[in-house]
A and B are shown apart, each in its own frame.
Chain A
């Protein structure tokens, strides 16, 4: 295979002996590409016949999605080309590269932080996660799963859009700090069959088989299955370093296994997405007062959905979108407690829901783009249970259901060629007597076609989830609070976007967020029981800056810096797990005559406090990926090093990270240097 590649690509052979210095060349390649670029511009493409132009391949990732400049937010987009160039393995990897976002991992789940907020014990309920428009947040935790527990393989993602700020005026609940929209590839993008295999550190292997195509008749089909198995490391926890508890080493407990299925059919106005995933993860941290280093401790998360969509344009001034869906989420956790005796306790959740949405977009009135929408969701099961397996004893068996209705409207009014007014309003009502009205207002001014300023105001809400309201086990120290109210956020933001031709973009943003009725776990002094209450108020302000430059030939540089200050409004203390500084740099360039592409990212995170008052220090991590899209005929090779300089760093643990001996974890150490080799063969 590689012999073939060398014959076809003499440039590769000439420079093959330089392979060792590949890392350095990648980093110095800015100058390399600027010398390579004139080669293209010297070639007069207009002299070529059309037939040839039609056959030339282009590097398309360079396109900024320009509609973004009119969006009432400062949108970030990560494309399939980025996923490939930077060797992203999970959705969490993708989010880490987005301006102002950070991800915390406790070796069980991944937690998204944005604009300085990452609340302990929150399974991402304050970020709305959409997959091709379908709402993934479940009905019990409102959780959005983004690590290896996510529902879709990142290789199937066409792009991820992050719209920071409140999105409740269109999307209703959970669109609190932002909306993350995953758009998957079509069968046409795959254009055949793909088999991909990868091997990585910690005895990790992954396989994926995908078929995708569009028939002459217009039927687009995508079928994909992925399988991932990782044995994981034997992790050492200094807090548990005692001969009685295996000297603090969790043996074979960082294992991680998942299976994913994804299918997508579209024909004419209709499309049907079906997805399924199941992930099993060992718990090495003894969280929730477990016995440390017991091999039975694990969580299983299962997600599935069917989403039928209809999209049509009955006239030039009307778009009709409708969807009908069924969703399922199930969780089962085995927790090992020492009552005594040592007993396996099982925690289970079942969430099933169905619903539908209708959205009309009308451009019938000159200069107005009006959206009307209505949504209904029926959470048939929001069930939670807790029991000991042997001997059997039930502590919780709670069954709930809930219906939610929402109606909304938005008008984008082009006052003139340079002024746009965007106003939206949504009202939500639920059978748990929660009513929320959320407006959004944006004034967008285009100083020139290349410079846009946006003034944004919006509010959002999040209804308390079933876990916060009803999770109370008999004899535990928790009590229910059915009177919990939705929490609310009010935000102001000013955004400036500037483009210089098509190859330079600058985005700057200043924001101020204020949250009321924040739901937090507290201790009731009257009875000494833990209860979720709407007590906290918090606020955050900050600045985000990002610049991106593209060179012809596909070299790209993106750098961002965020400063944010998130604090408790009552006490003025800084929130836990809230870094004041975040800085990121992503750089990718082709080298060796475009056979290889290097993608490197550097991420800095400032010091964070832990919920228990400790600190985890700041760190910088660098990742490097080399990809040869056409290493040989039909064969793509990707080799990645993550945490290249083996930086030792840690994330703050939430307060439930203590073992059966009440030893709390001060920090959770993250992976050191690791490697991945991935081969993809296309037919």
Chain B
């Protein structure tokens, strides 16, 4: 791992700064990648809306993604007031502030073609499609394959292979 960091540092001088990345700049990049490696069914919401429910942890990091083209569509970012609005989103980012409300939020979007991403440890285990976590100061993610499957969403095999853990249907 040390060697890899060294090699990366040689090729990407900005990386020499080590721990300079804010967690949410990186997590925003992850969310962008998740959207890029997902195929939605035809009945999914139009456009490419990434929605945030709960306290927005991103600062400007998520807004910086606006205007990027994902799957031929303009990416937009929205903050939701209520979970009912989630059906108009492609990606639903569930903030860590909603950890206690997770069952209720998941019930509201159950089987809808909305990619749920939650910013909390063990989220995939609890039924979120992608759970973000931090391991050894690095960001990792877990996938709940059955939740993805039930929503008729397809994730690329690349995403599945990079996940720390994939929960499959029993």
Contacts and interface: CB of A to CB of B under 8 A. Distances in A.
B43 interface: no
A366 interface: yes
Contacts of B137: 57-58, 60
B151 interface: no
A593 B142 CA distance: 32
Contacts of A593: 16-17
B170 interface: no
B126 to A, nearest CB: 7
B21 A46 contact: no
A53 B99 CA distance: 25
Given A58-B23, A59-B23, A60-B137, A630 B18 contact: yes
Q: Which of A48, A191, A502 has the most CB of B within 10 A?
A: A502
A104 to B, nearest CB: 36
A83 to B, nearest CB: 16
A504 B64 CA distance: 19
Interface string A1-13: 0000000111100
A243 B35 CA distance: 81
A24 interface: no
Given A45-B28, A53-B29, A69-B55, A552 B22 contact: yes
A417 interface: yes
B15 interface: yes
B63 to A, nearest CB: 10
Interface in A35-57: 36, 39-41, 43, 45-46, 48, 50-57
A70 B97 CA distance: 8
A52 B8 contact: yes
B59 to A, nearest CB: 4
Contacts of B25: 40-41, 45, 552
A51 B65 CA distance: 20
Given A50-B158, A63-B23, A594-B18, A55 B8 contact: yes
Interface string A339-350: 000000000000
Nearest to B54: A449
A56 B26 contact: yes
A66 B138 contact: no
Contacts of B103: 316-317, 363
Contacts of A55: 1, 4-5, 8, 138
A229 B79 CA distance: 55
Interface in B1-23: 1-2, 4-6, 8-9, 14-23
Interface in A53-90: 53-60, 62-63, 65-67, 69-70
Contacts of B16: 9-11, 593
A367 B104 contact: yes
Contact of A40 (B6, B22, B54): B22
A414 interface: yes
A502 B26 contact: no
Nearest to B63: A501
A397 interface: no
A595 B99 CA distance: 34
Contacts of A449: 54-56, 79, 81, 97
A517 to B, nearest CB: 36
A553 B29 contact: no
B101 interface: yes
A450 interface: yes
Q: Which of B16, B28, B81, B158 has the most CB of A within 10 A?
A: B16
Q: What is the size category of the interface that chain B forms with chain A?
A: 35 or more
B162 A51 contact: yes
Contacts, number: 156
A53 B139 contact: yes
Interface in B71-128: 79, 81-83, 95-97, 99-101, 103-104, 126-127
A39 B97 contact: no
B29 A417 contact: no
B155 to A, nearest CB: 12
Contacts of A59: 19-23
B58 A502 contact: yes
B30 interface: yes
A503 to B, nearest CB: 5
Contacts of A633: 2
B24 interface: yes
B85 to A, nearest CB: 11
A39 B20 contact: yes
B54 A366 contact: no
A414 B101 contact: yes
A46 B5 contact: no
A501 B56 contact: yes
B22 A58 contact: yes
A499 interface: yes
Given A499-B55, A502-B55, A53 B101 contact: no
B86 to A, nearest CB: 13
A60 B103 CA distance: 26
A369 B98 CA distance: 13
B60 to A, nearest CB: 7
A502 B29 contact: no
Nearest to B2: A633
Nearest to B68: A46
A552 B17 CA distance: 13
Q: Which of B25, B30, B60, B79 has the most CB of A within 10 A?
A: B25
A554 interface: yes
B15 A56 contact: yes
B95 to A, nearest CB: 7
Given A10-B16, A45-B25, A57-B21, 19 more contacts: A36-B20, A46-B68, A50-B33, A50-B158, A53-B33, A53-B139, A55-B138, A59-B23, A60-B23, A60-B137, A62-B23, A188-B136, A363-B103, A449-B79, A501-B60, A502-B55, A553-B20, A553-B22, A554-B20
Interface of B: 1-2, 4-6, 8-9, 14-26, 28-30, 32-33, 54-60, 64-65, 68, 79, 81-83, 95-97, 99-101, 103-104, 126-127, 134-140, 158-159, 162
26 contacts: A8-B9, A40-B21, A45-B21, A46-B29, A46-B32, A55-B1, A56-B26, A56-B138, A56-B139, A57-B21, A58-B21, A58-B139, A62-B22, A63-B96, A65-B96, A66-B55, A67-B99, A67-B100, A188-B135, A188-B136, A449-B97, A450-B55, A501-B60, A552-B25, A590-B19, A590-B20
